[in-house]
Amino acid sequence: MPLSAPLPRSMRHRRAITVEAYLREDGLWDIEARLTDIKPRDIPLASGGVRPEGEPLHDLWLRVTIDTRMNVVDAEACSDWVPYPTHCDTIGPAYRKLIGLNLMKGFRKASRERLGGVAGCTHLTELCGVLPTAAIQAFAGDVFPVRDNSNDLRPIEPGEKPPYQLHGCHALHLEGEVVRKHYPRWFAYQPEAKIQPPPTELSLEPSS
């Protein structure tokens, strides 16, 4: 367990989010996300009755079908377990509004605009947020090359862009050690937008 040892405690709730990616026979990709909520005790429901221990409060599915440019060409959602049966589980068709979006071009914002609040299910719309990076991971080594000669020292050609992952997180900062070592062509590259300096440790001293 990588976290520090916890104080004595008892587990009261488990939420699990899983994402699986599939390459289809037609060349498209299915990115399939699932969310479950389970409690280790019986749950009295506001809608009446009791959900027995071990049975999900939520078991929700969201699938988008994308091409290799990350365009969403199909989408569907279903709700197998919900706290308000015949109500929560009727929203699935609304998630076809994801069709036409692109996972790499403002997808999270657009999905919230189309399906946030009463326009969708809170938890299905949450699942939209995990799809872009899951698709990137799925494409790595299949659609996107893991190495693209960024480890050599050829001059950068006019209009050439760095690999998509560079400068996307603190480890892959264009002026960081990982880029210097593994992507030397792009070390200290200056994109059109000004590079933000690498993060430094926060000072714990009070300001004067």
| 161 and 74 fall within a common domain | no
Burial 8-30 (b: 16+ CB within 10 A, else e): eeeeeeeeeeebebeeeeeeebe
| 116 and 65 fall within a common domain | yes
The whole-model pTM stands at 0.84
Distance of CA 166 to the CA centre of its chain: 18
Give the least confident one: 51-60, 91-100, 103-112, 158-167. Answer: 158-167
Distance of CA 125 to the CA centre of its chain: 12
State the Cα–Cα distance between residues 56 and 40, nearest whole angstrom.
10
Give me 66's structure tokens: 């994308």
Which of residues 122, 139, 156 is at a domain's end?
A: 139
**Residue whose pair of structure tokens reads 């009755």 in the numeric block:** 49
Give the residue ranges of DSSP H helices in the chain: 107-115, 122-128, 131-139, 177-182
Contact 165, 171 (CB under 8 A): no
| 19 and 47 fall within a common domain | yes
State the Cα–Cα distance between residues 184 and 19, nearest whole angstrom.
33
| 102 and 154 fall within a common domain | no
| 118 and 57 fall within a common domain | yes
| 97 and 49 fall within a common domain | yes
**Dihedral angle sign, alpha carbons of residues 37, 114, 136, 138:** positive
Could you tell me the residue range of the domain that residue 160 belongs to? Answer: 146-198
Residue 79 lies in a domain: yes
| 157 and 60 fall within a common domain | no
pLDDT tens per residue, range 101-134: 999 999 999 999 999 999 999 999 999 999 999 9
State the Cα–Cα distance between residues 191 and 35, nearest whole angstrom.
38
| 131 and 174 fall within a common domain | no
| 108 and 159 fall within a common domain | no
| 44 and 98 fall within a common domain | yes
| 130 and 150 fall within a common domain | no
Contact 39, 57 (CB under 8 A): yes
Residue 118 lies in a domain: yes
Total count of domains within the chain = 2
| 83 and 155 fall within a common domain | no
pLDDT tens per residue, range 2-61: 899 999 999 999 999 999 999 999 999 999 999 999 999 999 999 889 999 999 999 999
Tell me what pLDDT residue 55 has: 96
Burial of 89 (0-12, 13-18, 19+ CB in 10 A): middle
